[in-house]
Structure 1
């Protein structure tokens, strides 16, 4: 049974010492109603949020959020360009537990309504970059979860295989996902502090001095961990108009080494949300959930019919350094010098530097040394072309007018079309995990 705002407000007086409630109103994000929530007005002018899980199976999320919010010390909060709720207290009720946090003012924007350009989209990208730049000690000191790239890859593999075993996933999706799991280029990322899966409703906005939406606060801290940064970007596929600007702002504001595969992994994680929903329905013996997930997967399969997931990696992942390394690989191999610790020079062999009584600097050796310094080794045409490509890739000089090595333009990703095709289906699943 849903708890009324007055019931939740009454719990605030027990959870927060000295709190005097003078008013209450319901709070909802228009989601699936996984929590009962209310805003309580206090006599000292503050407003606080009281929340209680509607089902015992999700009460652990409130406990996880309490741990995460308590890990955000004042010093950590100063590092963030937005606000996060503050934990104020909790109280147990006969049918659940009420958690009280500070209230953050602002409005929400649905993913499909996020506008492109400077404003909401770029503000979201910068907010995520700042979050991912937090020191790992924030998570480790609180004893929260930490996953390596290998563990993230193994988890994705388990989801793919569990979904495949159900027999309700289109074959083209299973092939698509397995290819991604097997591609090592996707799994060399640097883990970061993450929320474990943000969504559009995780961001609160206020209008800045120009009247443009800007992120003022971030919600949904229950998944705070060290994980794959792409997990927090997976929802961007459901914001087709703003996706490019979110990604661009995120990359420009990031304080980390560039990760060319982050957006490919984000799309993979987004698609696997449907598979997780299917596995959840099967494991909980919820035929309605399983049927709904199967329908979503069919829609997704149609949407990505002409799309190659890893094509995005080929298009985004090549850099000048990649081109340089490819060119260096074309240089013919030479016989390596012996690996020892003796001194070597270009002109003399070690035995010719000996000053033992048995050896001396004869005129013959001196003549050979002079001749050696004057000799040059011819470089074949293939080597010159490879070295030209290295110079061109690194920007050292203009490419030659002849014998130029053609640039690999790569395939063009059809990410936008695929995202638009699955937009409606994706929103149905994501909204099920919001309030």
Structure 2
């Protein structure tokens, strides 16, 4: 039975010393059926969120959320330009961890409802680019996971091998995914800090001065790691009308070289989520999950019949025009070189004294003739007759032999 908001709010006083509860209500934005959650209003008017996991998987996720939020120091938060919850405290309810964080204002937009163009779509792209631009030291200092391109590729291959062995993955998908995993063009990316594959529901929106929705905060940080940046874009398969604008805005705001395989890897991650769901059902011995995943895989195999996963990749050595322009835009402007004084710039000579008088100039024709004459003279000087070396070498060898003999005689007399 789910715990009531009043019960949860009462636990806030144990988690946050000195807190005084003035009211409680259910959590709407950011709610999750895997948690009992509520919003508690404190005596000073602030609102906080309390969450209690209802299963072991959610409990592990909540613990990861706490570690991630603690890693977001004030300095790191200042780099984001958007809000993230702050960890306030924790307590135990019936032996289960209860976590209290600050409340982030805003509303959510379902992936399929995100409008294209400037507004929500491009704002999401910029928000993700800011998160992915955080220094990797944020993750390393917190002891969170860090995976490179080779590890991401090996993990995808492992998931495919296990899923294919189950017999529930259509051959069309097995071949499609194997080709993508074997293609080196997909796996030369630069790992970044990621949210760990969150969906559209992780973003909270507010309206800007034009009334357009923009991202104001992200509340889901439990998957914070260094990983393939495409993993945070896999949910775009469910936001097809906004996909182009999210990725374009992301590419424009990212502080890295263009990644031509980003969209393809995002799609691959999205498709392979069905395989991971299948393995989750098998590992947890839930036949209903296995059956559900098998049905989803069959539907996916039919949907992608005429869609090649690697069709959007450029050929080897081929660079998209937009990518080339992006690269040029990232080349720093050449700093103005400091003037280095020359030997002529002394107190004995003034550069102005060496300049021509007004109206005077070089006789360009005479100068060209002089240059031509000098060039011909150097050519004539360099053109020599072949030298016969045989006699020369013979004489040198004879002289060397005579000198060696004289040296031995001098040594004997000594």
Match of 2:217 in 1: 217
Q: Is the 8 A contact 1:191 1:226 kept in 2?
A: yes
Match of 2:228 in 1: 228
Return the offset for 1:283: 1.2
The answer to whether the aligner puts 1:363 opposite 2:378 as a matched pair is no
Q: What SS is found at the alignment partner of 1:206?
A: strand
Q: Is the 8 A contact 1:28 1:37 kept in 2?
A: no
The answer to whether the aligner puts 1:104 opposite 2:125 as a matched pair is no
Q: Is the 8 A contact 1:192 1:226 kept in 2?
A: yes
Gaps of 5+ in 1: 325-360, 367-435
Match of 2:176 in 1: 176
Match of 1:78 in 2: 78
Deviations 1:401-431 (A, max 9, x none): xxxxxxxxxxxxxxxxxxxxxxxxxxxxxxx
Match of 1:124 in 2: 124
Q: Which range is displaced more, 31-40 or 51-60?
A: 31-40
Gaps of 5+ in 2: 325-381, 388-414
Q: Is the 8 A contact 1:56 1:96 kept in 2?
A: no
Return the offset for 1:57: 3.2
Q: Is the 8 A contact 2:197 2:223 kept in 1?
A: yes
Q: Is the 8 A contact 1:260 1:317 kept in 2?
A: no
Q: Is the 8 A contact 1:260 1:316 kept in 2?
A: no
Taking the aligned partners of 1:20 and 1:33, their CA distance within structure 2 comes to 27
The 5 A counterparts of 1:34-433 are 34-314=34-314, 318-319=318-319, 363-364=384-385
Q: What SS is found at the alignment partner of 1:312?
A: coil
Taking the aligned partners of 1:160 and 1:320, their CA distance within structure 2 comes to 30
Deviations 1:78-121 (A, max 9, x none): 00121000000000122411100000000000000000111000
**Count, aligned residues:** 330
Q: Is the 8 A contact 1:164 1:174 kept in 2?
A: yes
Higher relative contact order (CA 8 A, sep 6+): 1
Taking the aligned partners of 2:95 and 2:246, their CA distance within structure 1 comes to 41
Q: What SS is found at the alignment partner of 1:198?
A: coil
Return the offset for 1:363: 2.8
Taking the aligned partners of 2:53 and 2:230, their CA distance within structure 1 comes to 28
Q: What SS is found at the alignment partner of 2:38?
A: strand
Match of 2:399 in 1: none
Could you state the TM-score of these two structures normalised by the residue count of structure 2? 0.77
Return the offset for 1:317: 8.4
Q: What SS is found at the alignment partner of 2:107?
A: coil
Deviations 1:121-162 (A, max 9, x none): 000000000100001111111111100111111111111111
Q: Is the 8 A contact 2:41 2:48 kept in 1?
A: yes
Could you state the TM-score of these two structures normalised by the residue count of structure 1? 0.73
Residue 365 to residue 282, structure 1, CA distance change in 2 (3 Å): farther
Residue 99 to residue 32, structure 1, CA distance change in 2 (3 Å): closer
Taking the aligned partners of 1:268 and 1:316, their CA distance within structure 2 comes to 20
Q: Give the RMSD, CA atoms, in angstroms.
A: 2.2
Q: What SS is found at the alignment partner of 1:49?
A: strand
Q: What SS is found at the alignment partner of 2:88?
A: strand
Taking the aligned partners of 1:30 and 1:159, their CA distance within structure 2 comes to 30
Taking the aligned partners of 2:311 and 2:31, their CA distance within structure 1 comes to 34
Q: What SS is found at the alignment partner of 1:314?
A: coil
Q: What SS is found at the alignment partner of 2:258?
A: coil
Taking the aligned partners of 2:256 and 2:238, their CA distance within structure 1 comes to 25
Q: Is the 8 A contact 1:197 1:232 kept in 2?
A: yes
Taking the aligned partners of 1:180 and 1:99, their CA distance within structure 2 comes to 41
Q: Is the 8 A contact 2:30 2:202 kept in 1?
A: no
Return the offset for 1:6: 1.1
Match of 1:413 in 2: none
Deviations 1:43-88 (A, max 9, x none): 0110000001011232111111100000000000000121000000
Q: What SS is found at the alignment partner of 1:90?
A: strand
When Rg is computed on C-alpha atoms for both structures, the one with the higher figure is 2
Q: What SS is found at the alignment partner of 1:364?
A: coil
Return the offset for 1:28: 3.7
Q: What SS is found at the alignment partner of 1:244?
A: helix
Match of 1:12 in 2: 12
Taking the aligned partners of 2:77 and 2:69, their CA distance within structure 1 comes to 10
Residue 312 to residue 136, structure 1, CA distance change in 2 (3 Å): same
Taking the aligned partners of 2:17 and 2:176, their CA distance within structure 1 comes to 55
